[in-house]
Amino acid sequence: MTLLPETDHGTPQATSEQTVSLTIDGRTVTVPEGTSVMRAASEAGISIPKLCATESLKAFGSCRLCLVEIEGRKGTPSSCTTPVAAGMTVATQTPRLAALRRGVMELYISDHPLDCLTCAANGDCELQDMAGAVGLREVRYGYEGANHLSAEKDTSNPYFTFDPAKCIVCSRCVRACAETQGTFALTIDGRGFAAAVTAGQGQDVLDSECVSCGACVQACPTATLMEKSVIDHGQPTHAVLTTCAYCGVGCSFKAEMQGETVVRMVPHTDGGANEGHSCVKGRFAWGYATHPDRVTTPMIRARITDAWRPVSWDEAIAFAAARFKAIRAEYGADAIGGITSSRCTNEEVFVVQKMIRAAFGTNNVDTCARVCHAPTGYGLKQTFGTSAGTQDFRSVEAADVILLIGANPTDGHPVFASRMKRRLRAGAKLIVADPRRIDLVRSPHVEATHHLALRPGTNVALINALAHVVMTEGLADRAFIADRCDPSSFAEWAAFITDPRHAPEALEPITGVPAADVRAAARLYATGGNGAIYYGLGITEHSQGSTAVMGLANLAMATGNIGRPGVGVNPLRGQNNVQGSCDMGSFPHELSGYRPVSDEAVRAQFQAVWGVAVGAEPGLRLPNMLDAAVDGRFRGMFIQGEDIAQSDPNTRHVRAALEAMDCVVIQDLFLNETAAFAHVFLPGTSFLEKDGTFTNAERRINRVRPVMRPKTGKHEWQVACDLATALGYPMHYDHPSGIMDEIAALTPTFAGVSFEKLDRLGSVQWPCTDAAPAGTPIMHRDHFVRGEGRFMVTAFVPTEERTSRAFPLILTTGRILTQYNVGAQTRRTANVAWHAEDVLEIHPHDAEQRGIRDGDRVSLASRMGATSLTARLTDRVPQGVVYTTFHHPETAANVVTTEHSDWATNCPEYKVTAVQVTRANLRTGDDAPPVAAE
């Protein structure tokens, strides 16, 4: 077993295409221009001692350990800050250098506790290594003088400690926080002997700006910043490369282990999505996987009012199969169905949708993407021809203007946000379109050029106004349009969009955004160089979600911002495998690869491999399944890893539907809210037990590898196979790689994918085919997948959800960095230190009108229902808008959300709900206004 060591060449790789040759210790070395002497040496296998240098950060030159001698130059320059030059002759090991390095190390060690044997970093400490490398044998200065050995340890962060006694003030942590993470939470205070790392005067780490990404811990060469899990367990003995199971960024991690115990998760430098960075969730919040709340035994019950009865796998499978069969016999196959999970692997999702189609005998399969990014699938398919984002994450490094609309990446997609912030600090311009003042509007060293604070529900109007300016001010890329797009769709759209009713001035009363700002933003996007659009659920979760996605695609085509690095239309997808669950045929009208069930040739392919007929009619979507359940027409459901009783809109309706069914089977880690309505509970596996693949928001297929055996005794794909077999459709695979082989055989965009290739290349981005065997980082390069790009007319139709006297405010919802989705995982970790409850953000003016003070308990009521939560007064939200998260079941934020949904895909309109907010538990004499009648 190995810890998968990664070589640290000390300074970042140079990108120049010009090369330079030099001699280091008598060897001729050729490297790209701009490479440091340290890196050139390292790449040639010559190791120069270092402490303040690390490959992920710019050279700093403070420790003076990496000194070298260069022929013809005076002194002993530091190799980390000295670029190579043609013909240079370098010596890295001379008696003079050895003496100097020992002297430097002696000074460090004289102010360092000598507790190596009992230190948590013993064996994984660069200071220790360097003392050995320079041959330090004694410290002449003694330890009696002034030192930092009694400095107080900061243990406030739940996941790592800061022990200043061990700090060598190399500044790697400070630079990591600035350069890698972009938070700037740390500084070096004082000078000389008094210099010390601080998270703010008198402030501990927990109370500081720190977002616990772990970059500083990763960068620290000593035990100063140390994972508590390593302090508790000791050093890991082996590592397994796997993928984070939280968000759609899809970060790669080394799970560092002792036996089957995770000691820590270390972001993998070669991870295509994260390149060595992480956020607090993937880096630290994995404890839920072994939380005592996990249910690991199958359970059944005849009625949902009965107590659960733990049973064997065989009994649970037989019970579920008997119930499904009984429903099928009485009501037909279309009275049952299921939903797949975007938290599960591609292989697990594929077998569940196969089980539903082949063993249940129905196309009634849907996925949680229905409630998040279904409009992305629809909108991008209509315009570009494929249901996925156009770029890889790295593309943002070539963007000149970023239009960020309806997304809050610093909370929702933090590792991508760090990458984006790096580009913004390097000079790219940012346009934020969001009702709320999200962090990126203004954060350290990043400021949006424009913040278009539109009214919730007016995305399409705003996007149309932007496009109107592009078209009427002569900013369109006519050559691109003529060359790449369908002329008749363009002509129709151009006539539509140039109509004066789409002028920013005409739409200002609707969007609330000053026309001048819209015009300036449109000009910037169209003429500022490479324009890249990034969007999230703030675009899709609307009654016009699909229209807005098509509007963004129109905008990108009209300005020629498609088909090269730095541009594109990029959905920031929510769950770890939401892209994959859609790719795998989880929609009722599509088989894997987004091919319609109505296409006979497509069906024939599947039928040949599956040996069973596949229905030609699309099945029911999730909301339709729930409606049919309430009507008594839909009676049994298999729910893979979703908590629809908490996550779906109009909770009362969802619960009524679940309650009405004869057989609800849940496969999950925990007894979630939905399990209260289930008859069969099949315990699921965490990502640490899974063997398969996840596909992230940039279409990157990453391997998920097990670090422990399934705590349930069965892999989830085996459970689906067993249930299908019990239903009379024998289904068997020897290994998940066999499932991927079937996916590849049946899905053109996955044709070249196999576990063997993924293990060899690390990851690939689909389409992965004979024509693109290593995958496709950027799509639509020479032509669109559908041939010509199609412009779509995007008429703005206001939502039916309206404010009134009784419900005068608009509620919009979102996420917070430390929690995830309905919180099933993150609430079972120390992340609750940051977000123990959902709060309601309300503008001080709206609060004052209602007699609400910061911290008051308030009632939040809509036409659908009411809940209560704590108010936080802030001008991050504009007047008339309130905002909350939905991570805690106690809040039950979806009790108030409505059943309005996207016209094309039924994606719920989570982002616009008319509400009233009042102080809860008013005391006598309090004067909050009563709720008015509508």
Q: What token pair was written down for 876?
A: 């991050």
**52, 533, 660, 832: residue in contact with ligand FES (rule CB under 6 A):** 52
Residue 478's SS3 state is helix
Q: Answer yes or no whether residue 59 interacts with ligand SF4 by CB under 6 A.
A: no
Under rule CB under 6 A, which residues in 57-86 are in contact with ligand FES?
Answer: 61-66, 78, 80
Q: Which is nearer to ligand FES, 46 or 785 (CB)?
A: 46
Contact between 815 and 562 under an 8 Å Cβ cutoff? The reply is: no
Name the segment binding ligand SF4 (CB under 6 A); options: 134-142, 411-419, 542-550, 716-724.
411-419
61 contact, one of ligand FES, ligand SF4, none, CB 5-8 Å limit per kind: ligand FES
Distance CA 370, CA 905 (A): 7
Q: What token pair was written down for 95?
A: 């008696």
Under rule CB under 6 A, which residues in 212-271 are in contact with ligand SF4?
Answer: 212-216, 219-222, 224-225, 244, 246-247, 249-251
Name the segment binding ligand FES (CB under 6 A); options: 50-58, 354-362, 756-764, 841-849.
50-58
Q: How far is the CB of 56 from ligand FES (least distance, A)?
A: 14
Q: What token pair was written down for 435?
A: 């009702």
Q: How far is the CB of 67 from ligand FES (least distance, A)?
A: 8
Q: What token pair was written down for 106?
A: 């002696």
197 contact, one of ligand SF4, ligand FES, none, CB 5-8 Å limit per kind: ligand SF4
78 contact, one of ligand FES, ligand SF4, none, CB 5-8 Å limit per kind: ligand FES
Q: How far is the CB of 780 from ligand SF4 (least distance, A)?
A: 25
Q: How far is the CB of 53 from ligand FES (least distance, A)?
A: 4
Q: Which is nearer to ligand SF4, 253 or 319 (CB)?
A: 253
**148, 172, 354, 653: residue in contact with ligand SF4 (rule CB under 6 A):** 172
Name the segment binding ligand FES (CB under 6 A); options: 56-64, 91-99, 337-345, 626-634.
56-64
Contact between 907 and 898 under an 8 Å Cβ cutoff? The reply is: no
| C-alpha distance from residue 522 to each of 401, 438, 490, 533 (Å) | 11, 20, 19, 12
> Would strands 429-433 and 569-571 be described as parallel, antiparallel, or unpaired?
unpaired
x-or-dash string of contact with ligand SF4, 355-394, rule CB under 6 A? ----------------------------------------
Q: How far is the CB of 84 from ligand FES (least distance, A)?
A: 15
x-or-dash string of contact with ligand SF4, 141-170, rule CB under 6 A? --------------------------xxxx
Cβ neighbour number for residue 25 with a 10 Å cutoff: 16
Q: How far is the CB of 830 from ligand FES (least distance, A)?
A: 34
Which residues fall within 8 angstroms of residue 717, CB to CB, at 6 or more apart?
A: 345, 347, 348, 351, 692, 733, 736, 739
DSSP 728: T
441 contact, one of ligand FES, ligand SF4, none, CB 5-8 Å limit per kind: none
173 contact, one of ligand SF4, ligand FES, none, CB 5-8 Å limit per kind: ligand SF4
Give me the helix-helix angle, 504-511 and 515-527, nearest 10°: 120
Q: How far is the CB of 93 from ligand FES (least distance, A)?
A: 15
Contact between 373 and 571 under an 8 Å Cβ cutoff? The reply is: yes
**176, 657, 678, 708: residue in contact with ligand SF4 (rule CB under 6 A):** 176
At CA 684, angle to CA 664 and CA 324, rounded to 5?
25
Q: Which is nearer to ligand FES, 216 or 285 (CB)?
A: 216
Contacts with ligand FES by CB under 6 A: the residue count is 12
**31, 38, 121, 197: residue in contact with ligand SF4 (rule CB under 6 A):** 197
Q: Which is nearer to ligand FES, 47 or 803 (CB)?
A: 47
Q: How far is the CB of 24 from ligand FES (least distance, A)?
A: 15
Distance CA 850, CA 845 (A): 9
Contact between 261 and 246 under an 8 Å Cβ cutoff? The reply is: no
Q: What share of the chain is helix, strand, coil (3-state, %, to 5)?
A: 35, 20, 50
**Using CA of residue 190, residue 191, residue 196, residue 197, what is the dihedral sign?**
positive
**22, 53, 210, 731: residue in contact with ligand FES (rule CB under 6 A):** 53
Q: Which is nearer to ligand FES, 172 or 900 (CB)?
A: 172
Distance CA 135, CA 103 (A): 11
**281, 421, 653, 843: residue in contact with ligand SF4 (rule CB under 6 A):** 281
**11, 81, 92, 278: residue in contact with ligand SF4 (rule CB under 6 A):** 278
Q: Answer yes or no whether residue 97 interacts with ligand FES by CB under 6 A.
A: no
Distance CA 351, CA 722 (A): 11
Of the candidates 477, 404, 469, 468, the residue with the CA atom closest to the CA atom of residue 440: 404
Instruction: Give φ, ψ of 350 to 5 degrees.
Output: -60, -45
Contact between 815 and 411 under an 8 Å Cβ cutoff? The reply is: yes
Residue 917's SS3 state is strand
Q: What token pair was written down for 440?
A: 């990126």
Of the candidates 876, 234, 286, 339, the residue with the CA atom closest to the CA atom of residue 643: 339
Contact between 354 and 610 under an 8 Å Cβ cutoff? The reply is: yes
Q: How far is the CB of 40 from ligand FES (least distance, A)?
A: 14
Residues in a beta bridge with 597:
none
Contact between 525 and 554 under an 8 Å Cβ cutoff? The reply is: no
Contact between 442 and 448 under an 8 Å Cβ cutoff? The reply is: yes
Instruction: Give φ, ψ of 313 to 5 degrees.
Output: -60, -45
Q: Which is nearer to ligand SF4, 230 or 548 (CB)?
A: 230
x-or-dash string of contact with ligand SF4, 616-655, rule CB under 6 A? ----------------------------------------
Distance CA 10, CA 551 (A): 45
Cβ neighbour number for residue 443 with a 10 Å cutoff: 18
Name the segment binding ligand SF4 (CB under 6 A); options: 207-215, 255-263, 296-304, 651-659.
207-215
Q: Answer yes or no whether residue 37 interacts with ligand FES by CB under 6 A.
A: no
Contact between 824 and 493 under an 8 Å Cβ cutoff? The reply is: no
**56, 76, 181, 376: residue in contact with ligand SF4 (rule CB under 6 A):** 181
Residue with structure tokens 């689906």?
A: 720
x-or-dash string of contact with ligand FES, 691-710, rule CB under 6 A? --------------------
Q: Answer yes or no whether residue 50 interacts with ligand FES by CB under 6 A.
A: yes
Residues in a beta bridge with 431:
403, 450
Q: Answer yes or no whether residue 415 interacts with ligand SF4 by CB under 6 A.
A: yes
185 contact, one of ligand FES, ligand SF4, none, CB 5-8 Å limit per kind: ligand SF4
210 contact, one of ligand FES, ligand SF4, none, CB 5-8 Å limit per kind: ligand SF4
CA end-to-end span of the chain? 68
65 contact, one of ligand FES, ligand SF4, none, CB 5-8 Å limit per kind: ligand FES
Distance CA 202, CA 862 (A): 44
455 contact, one of ligand FES, ligand SF4, none, CB 5-8 Å limit per kind: none
Q: What token pair was written down for 18?
A: 């010009």
Q: How far is the CB of 221 from ligand FES (least distance, A)?
A: 10
Residues in a beta bridge with 914:
810
x-or-dash string of contact with ligand SF4, 315-334, rule CB under 6 A? --------------------
The residues binding ligand FES (CB under 6 A) are 50-53, 61-66, 78, 80
The residues binding ligand SF4 (CB under 6 A) are 167-173, 176-177, 181, 183, 185-186, 197, 210-216, 219-222, 224-225, 244, 246-247, 249-251, 274, 278-279, 281-282, 413-415
